[in-house]
Every structure is written in structure tokens, then in C-alpha cells.
Structure 1
Amino acid sequence: MLSGTAFALAAGLMWGLVFVAPLMLPAYPPALLAVGRYLAFGLLCLPLALLDRQDLRALRAADWWEAAKLSAIGNFLYYLCLAAAIQRAGNPLVSVIIGTLPVVIAVASNRRNAQRDGHLPWGRLAPSLAAIGLGIACVNHTEAAGLAADETGRYLQGAAIALVALAAWTWYPIRNADWLRAHPDRNPRAWATAQGLVTLPMSLLGLLALLALQALGLPGVPADFALPLGPQPLAFVGLMLAIGLFASWGGTLCWNEASQRLPTTLVGQLIVFETLAALAYGYALRGAAPSGLALLGIGLLVAGVVWALRVKPVATGA
């Protein structure tokens, strides 16, 4: 339990970095941010693959296909929507929407994986879920109160796109945990590297698609945008390499380690660490401390996680 929680915390701290990248590069289209992030991830995984070459050779075609699906939905679709939502509605709103993941994943996995992981009694789980939900509501109320009247449409658009990101990131940890728990003999580090390797051809295809969209004058990339590196090439490349290494590979590795140690329902609640990290980074970038109500919400999120860790799964009969 302790080591699994520590790995989940490390993953959350690294994943929180991806919430500030769209704010640091506001002129960059979300699709280019997604392509750039996972192109860097794929390139970084090439030398890492040498360390895990024996484990990677043991993967079958079905395993590589599963890695491709996980990357397409949990990486590309998720980050495309996340970046678009953050640029429209801001970091705190999107952070708290994604912060509902502990509740969403718990509801989705508690019945679905009861035979494998045991069942967390809803009555004992309810206080932690209520605390997490109330905490998210407090943070969201604080952000909505400062919204200007002419920003409502863009704000709501960002919220809607964030819901798509929420759906993608709900599917990813459950499906990824299914594979890891079904293959306890496999190396989680090699599985993280495998997901990185499959992003490389996907990213190259994505970049070609963006070039084609711009050449044809179709939506996606402004006609005057300087592809492929944009107006801040050094900042873009450096940031993409940083989040490719830490958020993509490092975060996935730590999450895989946590997923092999903890029931899926508890792992799902520990995604709250990502929310806390994203909020902390966002407030730091904004240069402003959270309000009292926001601090109360963050405290409730932490309390919900601590409470959830005390709940033990109950074995379910066949």
C-alpha cells in the first residue's frame, strides 16, 4: 500500500506539468502541442528501449495493438482535448473537471473489477467520494466567481472539451490496469516504453496531417503559423522534451508501478494527486495564492484521499 501510494504521488506530480504547458505556449495550436509532446516521448523512448529490449521482444502483436489503443486515446486524444480546454477556460477549471476522475473511475471500476480486486463497500467509500466532490466544487466556485461576462462562451466551450478529456482519461487507467494485472510477470517499465514507442509513428503522421491541413487552408493550424516549431522554437522544443520525459514516460512508469500494487478503485482515487499538482503549478504560474475557499477545497481533496486509503476491499465470491 505504501509503495503503491508513493508511486501514484510521483505520477501525479509529473502529470501535473502538462496542465501548465498550454499556458506557457498560448499561441500554439492544441494539436501541435499534442503532436510535439508525444513525438518527444517517442524519441526519448528509443534509447530507453535498449534497456528493455528483451521484455519488448516478448510482447505479442496483441500487446502492441493494446499499447497503440492506450496511446491513441489516453495520450493523443486526452492531451489534445486537455490543451484545447486549458487555452479556452484556464488551468483551474480544467484541473477541477479532470479532478472528478477519482469519483468517475471509482464508480466505473468498483463493480466492474470486483471479482479481481475485491469490492470496496459503497457505504465506507461514500465519505471519501463526498469529500473529493465537495473539494472540487469549492475550487470550481472560486474560479467561476471571477469570470467576466464576455468570457462565458469560451469558458463553457473549454468545460465541454474538458469533459471529452475526462472520458478519455477515465478509460485509460482502467484499461491499462487491466493489462498490467493480467500480466503480472511483465515489466511495468517496459510497458511504459512500449506505449512511448508506438507514439512515434502516430506523432509523425499527426505532424504530416497538420502540414496538410495548413497547406489546404483547413481548420487546425492558422495559415501564418510557422510549422513545425512555431514562433518560440527553443521554448517549444525544451518544454516538449521536459514533459515527454517526466510527464509521459516517468509518469506512466510510476502509474504502472502503482497499478500493479493497488486495487483499481483506489488507484483511481489517487489520480487526485495530479489535480493537486496541476492546481499548485497553475497558481504558481499565475503568481497568486488560492483563495480561502479554494484552499478549503484542496484540503477536502486531500482528506478524501486519506480516507479512501483506509478502506479495505472485501473479497467477492465467484
Structure 2
Amino acid sequence: MTRSTFTGIACGAAAGALWGLSLLAPELIGPFAPLQLASVRFVTYGVIALLLLAPKLKTLLPHLGAAEWWGLLGLSLMGNIIYYSLLSTAVQLCGVAMPSLIVGFIPVTVTLVGALRHDSTLHVRQLVPSMLLSAGGIVCIAWQNFHNASPQHQGGLWVQLAGLLMAACALLSWTGFVVKNANWLRRLDHITHNDWNLLTGLVTGALALLMLPLAFLLPQHLPATGWAHFLMVACGMGLLASVVANAFWNSMTRLLPLTMVGQMILFETLFSLFYGFLWEQRFPRPLEACAIVLAISGVISCVRAHGPAKHG
């Protein structure tokens, strides 16, 4: 394993550790709605991005044309606003497990897209073992979820199906984000990965400002208490799961090929499961432990497929 590969994997793990908190956050905000959490989180992302970018804007703006701004708009929607709103709603409808398993398919979808690209150094068949291991882990979690549903999320078949649909749409949205973001980072060698992250945050924050009236003015009854706790969780997500985690992710995206980038998303699934176990104060069940082993094996298999001879 080369040094850049090791650094890329470490950055992917760090991003996953912080993103894993995002799946737990809807459980922590009590009576507040997912849209309210998402809007405050992303406004925070935008405000922090603006403060950090302010000294650099005069230097950066000449490098940003209409295509770049449209690209940032698409990334902000796919990777932040749409994705997290769908994911948060799915978590509140049916708990952490189902969204975790559906979003867990992202490594398979992104790896497949990366392998089918004309510039891929690997054939799809070389990545089949890692994708099968990843899918096996997801199947284990799916089986566990549908046979051991959490009592507070047993809302009937239609609620479960609605949560499933929301999570599936989140999967498609974030797959598009990962692929498009990787394309932009490879094209814009004159903009650092963190500046691109902050520019994405700037656009995301502007969009989130438009969400605030929808999130807080339309509901007839807003919670009377718990505002300090809600703001602490939402702003914490904006800093940790957006500003910091996305910086790690963009750094990793420039260090690893797209076929390996997909597998790094498994860290989010692993950490979200770990946080879920802590929240529920229990150890993994046998199928969950099997899923963790399979997911880690999938990452190892993917790294081996990208050995020094194929990626250096």
C-alpha cells in the first residue's frame, strides 16, 4: 500500500466517523422535524464556510465561472440538502438501521460506476469480490432490521415503505454527488480540495436560508422547549459532519481512484452502527457482527485489488 493510499483511507475513515453521527442526530432532537435539523445544520455550514473563505474570495472568484457555480449548486443539492432531508426523514420514520443499510449500498453503486468509466484502471470483475462482501454485509443488516424492528419505529407497513423509499432516493442522490464531486476535484487542480468544500458549503448555506421559512414558519406548532439542545446538535452537525467531514472526504477523493472512493463510504455505515449500539446500550447481534466483518473485508478486498501494480 502506497503512502497516498494509506492517507486516503485514513481520511475516508475520519469522514465516515463524523458522518456516522448524522444518522444518530435525528434521534437526538426529539420533537423537532428533520427539515428543521437540516436547515440549521446547513446554514451553520454556510456561515462557517463564509468566515473561512472571506480572506480568499478575491483570489478564488476569477477561477469560478458559470459552469463551476452550477456545479456547486448541483453538489449542494445532491450531497447536502436533498440527501440529508431524505435521510433524516427515513431515520425518524423507521429508525437508524434501515437507512443505514440502504445508504450502505453506496459503496456498491459508486464502485460500479467507477469501474465502468473509460479511465478506470480496473475491470469490473476485479472488484466483484469487494462489492459482494459489501452487499453481504448490507443483506445481514437488512435481515436483522426487518426481524427486530425497534418498538418506537413500528409504524406499520406503509410507514416502513415510506422510510424505505426515502432512503433509496437518498442513495441515488448521494451516489450522484460522489461521482460528480470526484469529477470536479480532478478537473479543478487550481482550487484546493478544502476550498472546494467551503465553496460547496457557501452555496449549501444560501439554499438552506431558503429552507428556514419552510422549516420553522409553516408548522402550526413549534416545540416549546428543547431549543438549546436542538441548536447544539444542529450546529454541531454543521461543524463536524459538514465542514470537517467534507474536508476529509475531498482530500480522500483526490488521493484515491473512484473505484476505491466508493468503498470508503462503508466507514459511515460502520460508525453509524457503532453509535447506534452505544445509543441503544447493547452489543451487536450476530448478524450485525457478521455485517461489520463483511464490510471491513470488502474494504480490504478493494484495497488489494488496487495493489501497487494497479495504483501507485
CA contact (8 A) 2:36 2:216 kept: no
- Hey, what's the Cα distance between the residues in 1 that align with 2:200 and 2:234? 17
TM-score with structure 1 setting the length: 0.89
TM-score with structure 2 setting the length: 0.91
Structure 1 residue 109 displacement after superposition: 2.5
Matched, 1:39 2:43: yes
- Hey, what's the Cα distance between the residues in 1 that align with 2:253 and 2:139? 27
Partner of 2:298: 304
CA contact (8 A) 1:26 1:87 kept: no
Alignment of 1:227-238 (within 5 A): 231-238=225-232
| Secondary structure of the corresponding residue to residue 20 of structure 1 | helix
CA contact (8 A) 2:39 2:215 kept: no
Partner of 1:168: 173
Any unmatched runs of 5+ in structure 1?
Answer: 215-220
Structure 1 residue 173 displacement after superposition: 0.6
Partner of 1:272: 266
Structure 1 residue 211 displacement after superposition: 4.7
CA contact (8 A) 2:90 2:164 kept: yes
Structure 1 residue 275 displacement after superposition: 0.6
Alignment of 1:1-318 (within 5 A): 1-50=5-54, 52-53=56-57, 55-57=59-61, 58-112=63-117, 114-115=118-119, 118-147=120-149, 151-211=156-216, 214=218, 221=219, 223-226=220-223, 231-312=225-306
Task: After superposition, give the CA deviation of every residue in 1:205-233 in whole Å (9 maximum; x if it has no partner).
Answer: 11123355x2xxxxxx3x1125xxx6311
Higher mean C-alpha deviation, range 65-74 or range 266-275: 65-74
Structure 1 residue 54 displacement after superposition: 5.0
* Aligned CA distance change for structure 1 residues 307 and 55 (closer, same or farther; 3 Å): farther
Higher mean C-alpha deviation, range 230-239 or range 52-61: 52-61
| Secondary structure of the corresponding residue to residue 142 of structure 1 | helix
- Hey, what's the Cα distance between the residues in 2 that align with 1:12 and 1:120? 25
- Hey, what's the Cα distance between the residues in 1 that align with 2:202 and 2:216? 22
Higher mean C-alpha deviation, range 76-85 or range 60-69: 60-69
- Hey, what's the Cα distance between the residues in 2 that align with 1:4 and 1:22? 29
The percent identity for this pair of structures is 31
CA contact (8 A) 1:31 1:80 kept: yes
CA contact (8 A) 2:42 2:208 kept: yes
Instruction: Please provide the CA RMSD for this pair.
Output: 1.8
Alignment coverage as a number of residue pairs: 301
- Structure 1 consecutive aligned stretches of length 4 or more whose deviation exceeds 6 Å: none
| Secondary structure of the corresponding residue to residue 284 of structure 2 | coil
- Hey, what's the Cα distance between the residues in 1 that align with 2:242 and 2:158? 32
Structure 1 residue 265 displacement after superposition: 1.4
CA contact (8 A) 1:135 1:296 kept: yes
